[in-house]
């Protein structure tokens, strides 16, 4: 004989479990959004866990409501469960029907958040985001619902559980408020230093292996002389090779980030070489010593349920590290385009590993350029691109800026459309104001005034000279990332970017 109180037990247990799952899911989502665990986290499994917890919260909320309906003691009607303030249960003199009404409202918020997450790919990101943010209100309102309508509030176990969940909610919301920006901002904030104060992080490394990868492309593996661990990195990162004649060249890391024993890069000997790739090809031999700085990263993989990767030629290097780092269940496709298979590195390796997720487009086989419109049709996930300028320009015109992430091979001259004029900057740490002449770079002006900023390419591609902007609107003339991304995280690259007539305040 079934205990007649069984449904009441189910109601109470499922309510606490659903509450806990909501709080943990939101907390996990906050870790995902702020990346405070960076660089130890992995966006793939973090995102999966966040979704599973939220899905389970919906399931347990459903069990909670179903058992309330079945239980004869609580005697909830269908209307009580779905219409706020309809239930007469647990009315409190000074609150009226709010305790149960909050539960009904929370159910609708939970359904809205979960439904829009499932339809994320079909919704404009700003709408999805606005609804997703209501989950912060959800965890707060659920706490009030539990506190006012729960019948176990006098039990110690319940109180301890409730206190833990409320504390977790509060800490999570504080973290979200304090660290609202993306990982790029956080990396500097958490480490307590402004971006350009990163040590240049120069290592002497040995060339461990040189491997021909394709026509004109050599792979290089670098190790520390004592073969100890190198600095960690995440896909999208690059290192700077310090070559004779004060040449500094940036190359994306394309190995396995989990293998800390070596850095792997692939270098195309470019016909337009200014000397860097030619030197690397002709002079770097196994056993040689070379100086390397970094890794730095301005092309990080953001968490997404679906990706489209597009690589043109040697642009495969950061993309290869990205796709190899994703969990096997993550949805993605790669278009890898080049002139001919013999000039494209890693084609066989990628096709063997990932099968038909990888579309290799060799111009000499397919006769012409890939059909980007067909590839993008119906795709609403994030697009990551690394390749030559025409490919990037085509995608910039086709993909909304909030879903497009790219890395350029070389600087784009953006001065034609910009007003270049003298301006002033305030260095916030010393409260010093300096004037930057019309023909002078901001980087030079800063360094002449004690800025001691590190830099590398000097042409707005590598991102090494990054400084934080506290106030004012810079004129972005660099090619590091989209201007929207730079403004969102409040940075600029003073080797080429400048100020306008109004004063810029920099975190220096």
The site for ligand FES (CB under 6 A) is made up of 455-458, 460-465, 478, 480, 493, 495
Q: What's the min distance (Å) between Cβ of 408 and ligand FES?
A: 11
Query: How far, in Å, CA of 424 to CA of 9, rounded?
Result: 68
Residue 350 — φ and ψ, nearest 5°? -70, -40
Cα distance between residue 333 and residue 337, in whole Å: 13
Q: Residue 32 or 489: which CB sits closer to ligand FES?
A: 489
CB 409 to ligand FES: min, Å: 13
Q: Are 138 and 22 in contact (CB under 8 A)?
A: yes
How, if at all, do strands 358-362 and 331-338 pair? parallel
Q: How far is the CB of 273 from ligand FES (least distance, A)?
A: 18
Closest separation in Å from C-beta 234 to ligand FES: 20
CB of 453 to ligand FES, least distance (A): 9
* Residue with smaller CB distance to ligand FES, 330 or 468: 468
- Minimum CB separation of residue 460 from ligand FES in Å reads 5
Write out the two tokens for 450: 């004690």
State the nearest-atom distance from the C-beta of 389 to ligand FES, in Å: 17
Among residues 28 and 493, whose Cβ is nearest to ligand FES? 493
Nearer to ligand FES, 84 or 458 (CB): 458
Contact between residue 51 and residue 9 where contact means Cβ atoms under 8 Å apart: no
Angle in degrees, 0-180, between the axes of helices 156-178 and 125-149, rounded to the nearest 10: 150
Question: Other CB atoms closer than 10 Å to residue 135's CB: what's the count?
Answer: 21
DSSP-assigned letter for residue 96: B
Torsion sign (Cα): 272, 274, 277, 281: positive
Nearer to ligand FES, 236 or 460 (CB): 460
**Cα–Cα distance for residue pair 283/466, rounded to 1 Å:** 31
- How far apart are CB 443 and ligand FES at their closest, in Å? 7
Query: Would you say 24 or 461 has its CB closer to ligand FES?
Result: 461
Cβ closest to ligand FES, residue 143 vs residue 456? 456
Six-digit token string for 21: 């799952």
Q: DSSP letter at 314?
A: G
C-beta closer to ligand FES: residue 116 or 187: 187
Please report, for residues 195, 298, 348, 447, the alpha-carbon distance to residue 267 in angstroms, rounded to integers and kept in the order given: 27, 19, 18, 32
CB of residue 107 vs ligand FES: minimum separation in angstroms?
Answer: 50
Nearest distance, CB of residue 465 and ligand FES, angstroms: 3
Long-range contacts of 363-366 (CB under 8 A, 24+ apart): 363/337, 363/338, 363/339, 364/339, 364/340, 365/340, 365/341
Looking at beta carbons only, is 221 or 300 nearer to ligand FES?
Answer: 300
Decide: helix, strand or coil at residue 506. Answer: strand
Return the number of the residue (64 or 476) whose C-beta is nearest ligand FES: 476
Cα 407 from Cα 415, distance rounded (Å): 19
Compute CA distances 450 → 154, 197, 432, 495, 499, whole Å.
Answer: 63, 13, 10, 15, 19
SS3 content of the chain, % helix, strand, coil (to 5): 40, 20, 35
- CA torsion sign for 499, 502, 503, 506 is negative
Q: Which whole-number Å values give the CA distances from 486 to 141, 473, 483, 489, in the listed order? A: 35, 11, 5, 5
Please give the Cα distance from 116 to 112 (Å, whole number).
6
Q: Is the Cβ of residue 226 or residue 246 nearer to ligand FES in the bound state?
A: 246
Least Å distance, CB 160 to ligand FES, is 52
CB nearer ligand FES, residue 143 or residue 455: 455
- CB 461, min distance to ligand FES, A: 6
């Amino acid at each position: 004989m079934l205990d007649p109180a069984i449904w009441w037990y189910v109601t109470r247990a499922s309510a606490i479990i659903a509450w806990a799952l909501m709080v943990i899911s939101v907390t996990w989502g906050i870790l995902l959004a702020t990346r405070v665990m960076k660089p130890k986290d992995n966006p793939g499994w973090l995102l999966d866990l966040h979704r599973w917890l939220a899905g389970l919260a919906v399931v347990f909320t459903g069990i909670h409501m179903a058992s309330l309906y079945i239980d004869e003691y609580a005697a909830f009607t269908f209307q009580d469960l779905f219409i706020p303030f309809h239930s007469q249960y647990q009315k409190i003199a000074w609150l009226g029907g709010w305790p149960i009404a909050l539960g009904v409202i929370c159910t609708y918020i939970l359904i809205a958040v979960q439904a829009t997450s499932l339809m994320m790919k079909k919704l404009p990101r700003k709408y999805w985001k606005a609804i997703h943010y209501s989950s912060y209100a959800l965890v707060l309102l659920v706490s009030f619902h539990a506190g006012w309508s729960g019948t176990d509030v006098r039990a110690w176990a319940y109180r301890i559980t409730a206190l833990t969940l409320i504390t977790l909610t509060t800490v999570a919301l504080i973290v979200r408020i304090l660290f609202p920006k993306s990982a790029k901002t956080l990396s500097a904030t958490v480490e307590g230093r402004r971006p350009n104060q990163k040590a240049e992080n120069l290592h002497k490394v040995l060339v461990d292996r040189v491997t021909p990868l394709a026509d004109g492309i050599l792979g290089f593996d670098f190790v520390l002389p004592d073969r100890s661990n190198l600095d960690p990195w995440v896909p999208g990162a690059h290192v700077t090779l310090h070559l004779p004649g004060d040449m500094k060249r940036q190359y994306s890391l394309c190995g396995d980030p989990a293998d800390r024993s070596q850095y792997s890069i692939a270098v195309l000997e470019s016909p337009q070489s200014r000397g860097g790739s030619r030197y690397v090809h002709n002079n770097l031999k196994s056993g040689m010593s070379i100086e390397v700085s970094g890794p730095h990263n301005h092309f990080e993989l953001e968490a997404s349920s679906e990706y489209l990767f597009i690589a043109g030629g040697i642009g495969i290097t950061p993309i290869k590290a990205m796709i190899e780092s994703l969990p096997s269940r993550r949805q993605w496709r790669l278009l890898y385009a080049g002139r001919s298979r013999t000039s494209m590195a890693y084609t066989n390796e990628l096709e063997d590993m990932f099968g038909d997720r990888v579309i290799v487009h060799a111009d000499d086989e397919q006769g012409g350029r890939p059909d980007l419109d067909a590839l993008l049709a119906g795709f609403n996930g994030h697009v990551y691109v690394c390749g030559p300028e025409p490919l990037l320009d085509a995608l910039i015109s086709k993909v909304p800026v909030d879903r497009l992430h790219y890395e350029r091979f070389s600087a784009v001259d953006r001065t034609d459309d910009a007003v270049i004029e003298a301006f002033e900057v305030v260095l916030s740490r010393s409260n010093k104001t300096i004037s930057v002449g019309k023909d002078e770079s901001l980087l030079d002006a800063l360094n002449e005034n004690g800025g001691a900023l590190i830099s590398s390419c000097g042409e707005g591609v590598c991102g090494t000279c990054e400084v934080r902007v506290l106030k004012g609107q810079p004129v972005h003339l660099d090619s590091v990332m989209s201007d929207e991304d730079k403004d969102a995280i409040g940075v600029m690259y003073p080797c080429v970017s400048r100020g306008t007539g109004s004063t810029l305040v920099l975190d220096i």
